[in-house]
Structures are given as structure tokens and as C-alpha cells.
Amino acid sequence: MYYTHKILEAPLGIETEYDDDLEIGSPSKVNDEIYFVSHSHFLKTNIYFGIGGVIFGLWLLWSIETIKITFDLILPIICITGGSFWLIYGLFVKKKHKIFKLERLKGLVTYPDNYFHPPLKGKFKDLKVVIAVTGNIDGYVDREYLKFVNTFKPRKVDLLYTFYGDPKKDWSFMVWYMDKNRPLPPGTAFDPYRQKDFERRKNEGFPKPLYPSNIPTPEATPEQQKERENIGGW
């Protein structure tokens, strides 16, 4: 079942000193119009994994006393082949393809596609997301993951783009940020742009929110909140 576009709970604030534990990524550009994160740093993991696979496969080959086409060769070949793929992928995939971008005023989202494909881009309101759950045999929930369904270029067989943080908080942040009729989400990174964003919404007559919310999303000051209530009625 797809998750609805709704602010589920209070999201983590995006701070000026970015938090390395914020799994949606440390933004390299954030303001009242664009939230941009490069996910190319994940490619280092692919490189290390690839090197490790190749070395382990070669070690297994070296350990075989007599090289024959036997079952003993299967694992080394798998390690070397798989390691080589991840090494080539990490080294040669275009880093500009591994980006996550929210365009608040345009209502657009861009996120990485699989492997060497260019990023996927489309309207945020059309984006389909799921929260996947992992667990063990006794039914205990281990972890939850926010996953983007390939909405903009569907395929019969596909991998879902995964965020490895708190799925409800991450999704709540994205929905809040992309609701251009609400004030900017929590976090000191947005503080320099709050007044500008408030004036824009005020000039538009404080239109009603685009997406529902389980929590209040007040203005930055009581005075601004009163203006919104008087002009926009909410």
C-alpha cells in the first residue's frame, strides 16, 4: 500500500551544522526553493566492496591447490565477477546522476535511478512511496525503510530507491518542505529564508495547505501566525 502525502509526525530539523546521522543526506544546497543532496558518496562503498570481492576471489583461487573446472571455482568466479562490476560501477557511474533534489515552488522531485541510468524526475504529488518492513521469523519488526516506487519510469522488474533513516520522519520532512503553502520545516538551515517565504505566501493570500498534517505547522513567530489566521483563515 502506498503512503499518502501527509505530514505524519514532527520531522528532524535540518540544521546549519548538518547532522551526519540524518539519513536523508546532508544537503549541499538548502533554501526556500531547493533542497539538494548528492548521494554520490555512497559510491565509495561500492568501490570498497568491489575491491574486497576481487581480492577475496583471487585469494580463493590462490588457495586452490589444483585448478580444475569444479565446484571449487564457482565461488571465486562469483566474487571476482561481482567485485569487478561494483568496482567499475563505483568508478565510472556519473556522480551527477546520484542526486536527490526537491524543488519546493515547482513541485518537482528528482532522485537516483538504478545503476548507470540518469536520475528520475517528476511531480512530487504523483510520487508513490512505501515503507518496507524487515523482521525475523517470530514476527519481530527489525527495521523500516522508506522506499520510492519508480513512478516516473515504471518497469516490470525494478529496484526501489531506499532511504535508511526514520521513514516516517523523513517522509514527513519531504511532504512538509514540498507543501509550499506551509511555513518552512524546522531547522536552523531554513532560518535565513523564513521571512522571504512568509512574504511570498502572504502576497498569495496564505492559500490552504497542499497536503494534510497530523501535527501543527505554525509560523516562526506569534505575529506571523496571527497574520496568517487573519488573512488565510487557518
Say whether both 56 and 135 belong to one domain. Answer: no
Domain-ending residue, one of 24, 59, 92:
92
Say whether both 47 and 128 belong to one domain. Answer: no
- Would 34 be classed as within a structural domain? no
Q: For residue 17, is pLDDT > 60? A: no
| pLDDT, tens digit (0-9, with 9 covering 90-100), for 111-153 | 988 788 888 999 999 999 988 877 665 655 567 889 888 788 7
> How confident is the model over 148-174, as a mean pLDDT?
82
| 158 confidence band (pLDDT: 50, 70, 90) | low
Say whether both 124 and 195 belong to one domain. Answer: yes
pLDDT at 65: 66
- Would 82 be classed as within a structural domain? yes
Q: For residue 66, is pLDDT > 70? A: no
Question: In which domain, by residue range, is 80 found?
Answer: 43-92
What CA–CA distance (Å, rounded) separates 70 from 89? 29
> How confident is the model over 223-227, as a mean pLDDT?
96
> How confident is the model over 210-218, as a mean pLDDT?
96
- Most confident range, picked from 20-24, 30-34, 71-75, 154-158: 30-34
Say whether both 172 and 224 belong to one domain. Answer: yes
Contact, 35 vs 124, CB < 8 A?
Answer: no
Say whether both 119 and 228 belong to one domain. Answer: yes
Say whether both 73 and 143 belong to one domain. Answer: no
> How confident is the model over 153-179, as a mean pLDDT?
84
Contact, 33 vs 107, CB < 8 A?
Answer: no
> By percentage, how much of the chain surpasses pLDDT 70?
86
Residue 9 CB partners (closer than 8 Å, separation 6+): 168, 169, 172, 214, 215
Say whether both 88 and 191 belong to one domain. Answer: no
Average pLDDT, the chain: 85
Say whether both 55 and 165 belong to one domain. Answer: no
Domain-ending residue, one of 92, 122, 150:
92
| 174 confidence band (pLDDT: 50, 70, 90) | very high
Say whether both 83 and 143 belong to one domain. Answer: no
In terms of C-beta density within 10 A (0-12 exposed, 13-18 middle, 19 or more buried), how is residue 71 classed? exposed
Q: For residue 57, is pLDDT > 80? A: yes
- Would 14 be classed as within a structural domain? no
CB atoms within 10 A of CB 14: 22
| 29 confidence band (pLDDT: 50, 70, 90) | confident
Domain-ending residue, one of 52, 71, 92:
92
Say whether both 211 and 111 belong to one domain. Answer: yes
Instruction: Look up the pTM and report it.
Output: 0.81
Contact, 111 vs 119, CB < 8 A?
Answer: yes
Say whether both 110 and 176 belong to one domain. Answer: yes
Closest CA to 159 of 109, 123, 120, 108: 120
